[in-house]
Amino acid sequence: MKTNALVWAAMFVPIAGSFLLPLAGGISKALRNLGAFLLVGTSLLCSGLLVPTVQAGTTLRISCPFLGGGQLFQADSLSVFMALVSMLVGAVIVLYSMGYISHYDNQNEYYFMVVLFLGSMMGIIYAANLILIYLFWEITAVACWRLIGFFREPLCVVRADKAFLITGFGAFVMLIGFIMVYGQYGSFDLEAIKSASTAHPVANLAVFLILFGILSKSATLPLHSWLPDAGVAPTPVTALLHAAVLVKIGVYVYARLFVATFTIDPLWNQVVPLVAGVSALVSGGAALVETDMKRIIAYSTISQLGFILLGLSIGNPLGFAGGLLYILMHSIAKGGLFLCAGVVEQKLHVKDITRLGGLIRTMPVTAVSFLLCAFSVMGIPPFGGFFSKYLVIAGSLKSGDYPIAAIFTLGAFLTVIYLFRLFAMIFLGEAKTTPVTEGAPVMVASVAFLALLSLAGGLLINYPSSYVQTTVQQILGVMP
């Protein structure tokens, strides 16, 4: 089937192609860079072409006998949504990398790992089998480990090991959970578990173990501490890991397993939002004290992931739709913030915000892009983040969970304050460094593109919103 071929291509073009990139790099740098962009672009295009099919309500299934279940991959509107978001931001990041990484060694490995990472992300998204999810999950962990330690300095290696050990340990715990699920239902196939678990909900211990893995990957308290430390990586990598893709794996798998597939004890709809709330508050507060700009944005990511997790876990369609929109808006805006910070860092080699200032006069485009992306993360209209923040908080109110809503409202205040502190200290006030010019054109264009995309996300909210409504209807069977 033609559409099934699109699903295969969306995953395996980047995965298989990534192995060719070092070879291409042996021939010419330009060829390798173009190749990387084309691989990611092809995957984006393939997922994009699936939109009409999944919007019509069809779920594509690719099956072959495998580990006690018929299905390998599936594409429904949730997975296509996630694939589009990840690949869109991934493509911008690859483009930006061409400007950023061009002065460093080991570029072949860099592009290899980035594209492999994005490809295995597609694998997780389209997987319809717990073992496949675990398999691709670990491939991303390996790629991520190489990328965080990209600069090879001892500190980078230690931080990379820390990230790998925490997420790897989480994945291992999650695997035990998967095996318990297998013990309960006799299958790793999501579809089979879905129909079986309506009668007998998944055991709480299995849910806990799987949740442990998810929280370690999506950097939620208390398993978040690897994420700020991973800021030693090259900035496009941090953008990729922290903003767009890696941390979203966790929340995606949460949505895929606990909302779309498993039937779980309603108790989790109380517990997970609480964990998310504490995580959002603690990391929001830490972002106000921290002085390293990449660490601040990383804490901000942890805090915003709390909002996403709240939306997905609160247990009503409104919040779920809000969580999905939040994934989109946050990926774009937070990717933009990291890339802006990268422009500053590449030019000045300074990450300490107390030693920066006044850059708006020499880097106007970067500064304004940063501000626009920050507005979106804060949830200020007319930017996209406004709608997602409203829907998430409204979702918690709809469930009657007023204390949770209060925690997240406080989290929203903190977001406004720490992002303004960051913006003011980098771009406003007196200049404390030697005057520098704007970054490379391709880098500045990337950040401006993401900033405009954030604005478009708000003004043209009807398109993502109607897509998400279809998704929610398919998954929960009710109209939000």
Partner 1 sequence: MTEAMLWYPIVIPALCGVAALALPRRLPDGVALLATTANLLLCLRLYGNEMNVSSPWAGFGILLELRLYHFSAFILAAAACFALLISLYSLCFMKGRAHGNQFYAYLLISLAMVNGAVLADNLLLMLFFWEGLLCTIFGFIAIGGREAFRSAIKAFVLVGVSDILMMVGMAMTGFLAGTLTISRIHLAPDSPVAGVAFLLLVMGATSKAGSMPFHSWIPDAAADAPLPFMAFLPAALEKLLGIYFLARITLDLYPLSPDSWLSPFLMTLGVVTILLAVMMALIQKEYKRLLSYHAISQVGYMILGIGTAVPVGIVGGIFHMINHAMYKSCLFLTGGAVEVQAGSTDLRKLGGIGRRMPVTFGCFIVAAAAISGVPPFNGFFSKELVYDGALERHWIFYMGALAGSFLTAASFLKLGHAAYLGKPRGEKSLSDVREAPPGMLVPMLAIAGGCILFGVANPLPINNLILPIIGPERAAGHHFAGLPQNPFLIVMTVLVLLGAWLNHVYGVRKSGSGVGASDHIHHAPVLQPIYDRAERRFFDPYDLGMKAVQGISRLAWWIDRGNDWLFNVLAVGTARFFSRTVRGLHDGSYSTYMLWVALGAILMGLYLNA
Which residues of the shown chain bind partner 1 in the complex (CB under 8 A)?
162, 166, 221-222, 224-226, 281-290, 299, 318, 321, 375, 378-382, 386-387, 390-391, 393-394, 397-398, 405, 409, 412-414, 416-417, 420, 424, 428-429, 461-462, 465-466, 468-469, 480
| 65-71 LR contacts (CB < 8 Å, sep 24+) | 66/129, 66/131, 67/129, 67/131, 67/188, 68/182, 68/186, 68/187, 68/188, 68/189, 69/129, 69/187, 69/188, 69/189, 69/191, 69/192, 70/189, 70/191, 70/192, 71/128, 71/129, 71/189, 71/190, 71/191
Taking the mean position of all CA atoms in its chain, how far away is CA 294?
16
- CB nearer partner 1, residue 65 or residue 477: 477
- CB nearer partner 1, residue 266 or residue 400: 400
- CB nearer partner 1, residue 63 or residue 409: 409
Closest by alpha carbon to 117, among 233, 228, 209, 206? 233
CA 191, 192, 195: angle at the middle one, nearest 5?
85
Q: What is the smallest separation between the CB atom of 342 and partner 1, expressed in angstroms?
A: 23
Q: What is the smallest separation between the CB atom of 221 and partner 1, expressed in angstroms?
A: 7
Q: What is the smallest separation between the CB atom of 246 and partner 1, expressed in angstroms?
A: 18
User: What Cα–Cα distance (Å) separates residue 347 from each residue in 352, 359, 434?
Assistant: 14, 11, 10
User: Which amino acid is it at 111?
Assistant: Y
- CB nearer partner 1, residue 1 or residue 430: 430
Q: What is the smallest separation between the CB atom of 218 and partner 1, expressed in angstroms?
A: 16
Q: What is the smallest separation between the CB atom of 250 and partner 1, expressed in angstroms?
A: 18
- CB nearer partner 1, residue 46 or residue 378: 378
Enter the DSSP assignment of 232.
G
- CB nearer partner 1, residue 202 or residue 281: 281
- CB nearer partner 1, residue 203 or residue 410: 410
Q: What is the smallest separation between the CB atom of 52 and partner 1, expressed in angstroms?
A: 19
Cα–Cα dist 355/289, whole Å: 15
Closest by alpha carbon to 321, among 386, 387, 242, 375? 387
Q: What is the smallest separation between the CB atom of 451 and partner 1, expressed in angstroms?
A: 13
- CB nearer partner 1, residue 51 or residue 380: 380
**Interior/surface letters 315-341, b for 16+ CB within 10 angstroms, e for the rest:** bbbbbbbbbbbbbbbbbbbbbbbbbbb
- CB nearer partner 1, residue 249 or residue 391: 391
Residue 450 contacts residue 373 (beta carbons within 8 Å) = yes
User: What Cα–Cα distance (Å) separates residue 316 from each residue in 167, 192, 247, 321, 402?
Assistant: 29, 24, 23, 9, 15
Cα–Cα dist 230/226, whole Å: 6
Q: What is the smallest separation between the CB atom of 321 and partner 1, expressed in angstroms?
A: 7
Beta-bridged to residue 71, according to DSSP, are: 63
**Interior/surface letters 204-224, b for 16+ CB within 10 angstroms, e for the rest:** eebbebbbbbbbbbbbbbebb
- CB nearer partner 1, residue 30 or residue 288: 288
Residue 4 contacts residue 95 (beta carbons within 8 Å) = no
Q: What is the smallest separation between the CB atom of 227 and partner 1, expressed in angstroms?
A: 11
Cα–Cα dist 254/184, whole Å: 19
Q: What is the smallest separation between the CB atom of 414 and partner 1, expressed in angstroms?
A: 7
